[in-house]
Amino acid sequence: MPYSVLQPVQRRRRSRSKRPLVLLAVAALAAAGSLAATQHWAFAHGKPHRQHSAAGLTPKPVSARTLKQLRAAASEQQVAARAPFAPGTRLLLPGAPRLQHTALGPISAPSAILIDAKTGAVLWAKRAHRRRPIASTTKIMTGVLALENLRPTKVVRVNPLVTRVALSREGLRAHERVPVWKLMYGLMLFSGNDDALQLAIATAGSRGAFLRLMNEKANDLGLRDTHYTSPSGVVDRGNFSSAYDLAALARYAMAIPQFRAITRTHIAHIKWAKPTYAKTYVNKNQLLVTYRGADGVKTGWTTIAGHCLVVSARRGGKRMIAVVLHAPDPYGDARRLLNFGFANS
């Protein structure tokens, strides 16, 4: 019977050749055999073939001593990166004070100095290398080390020892958590001895370790008249410096942007965790509001040290730093020195 155009026609399927699959299998077997032969030859000749496996990427164990050394080296690199001056830089230029023979009014402080903070030149000095107790101007070094070794946002837990520190305390509570930047305002504006001790412990792990760090830093900066026995300056015995060294340290500290921003602040309103909720710090440096251009740095007083003042001021492109120690009239002395510097340099 002939086929009709409407009658479906079934197409015959063409059988596919299995030859490509066979060739592929043969090639895979040949490759595997070649790899096995290579590995066998390599191991026989002491040259094992490297396999990029997870086992090959497993790190070798590091000893605790090596790990400690690596961490110390990394910490030193971080501090060096944050330092405002290259290691070995002389903070103050050698030579006689440039304006020593220029007329200047009476300075009541037995030790004083005036420097050009931009160049490091000593402009005027009076017994600048005489070693004296320095009270809370010690906190300049404490603040520098805290900023160089701790992140401002790092939250630290207050050590119970901090709450029992002598004399001036802002009232930190045991075990409360406080970021470093808040402690820095308490340190430089309120001049809290509890802030100083807590920053010391957070930076070095203990008060003793921090004192070693302070004296090492003084040596690195070339502060030959300086020795620390307290992170706050509350202890006078064995805690001393000179007008010369304090001027050099102030120049170093004021080159750190975060330090400069804190120390030039007159009043700081800081939010706090409950039950405190808020704190207000008022800077004890009166020149911030009475002397044009004043922007730092630290006051200090104890019965033995007397009134100590390290002050910085900027006018135009000039910056002066003055230091007076054991001064009967610290602010009068500082004004005369700063005016003298701006007028004659």
Task: Give catalytic residues, as residue numbers.
Answer: 136, 139, 191
Answer yes or no: are the C-beta atoms of 230 and 204 closer than 8 Å. Answer: no
CA distance 245 to 109: 16
CA distance 226 to 221: 10
- For residue 162 the two structure tokens come to 């901090």
CA distance 273 to 277: 5
Q: Residue 59 is inside which H or E element, if any? A: none
Answer yes or no: are the C-beta atoms of 128 and 242 closer than 8 Å. Answer: yes
CA distance 193 to 200: 11
CA distance 273 to 28: 69
Determine the straight-line distance between the first and last CA of the chain, rounded to whole angstroms. Answer: 125
Q: Which residues of 127-151 are buried (b: 16+ CB within 10 A; e: fewer)?
A: ebeeebbbbbbbbbbbbbbbbbbbe
The H-assigned helical ranges of 268-310 are 287-290
CA distance 151 to 255: 17
Answer yes or no: are the C-beta atoms of 123 and 114 closer than 8 Å. Answer: yes
CA distance 238 to 31: 80
The H-assigned helical ranges of the chain are 19-44, 64-82, 139-149, 180-185, 193-204, 207-220, 243-254, 257-263, 287-290, 330-344
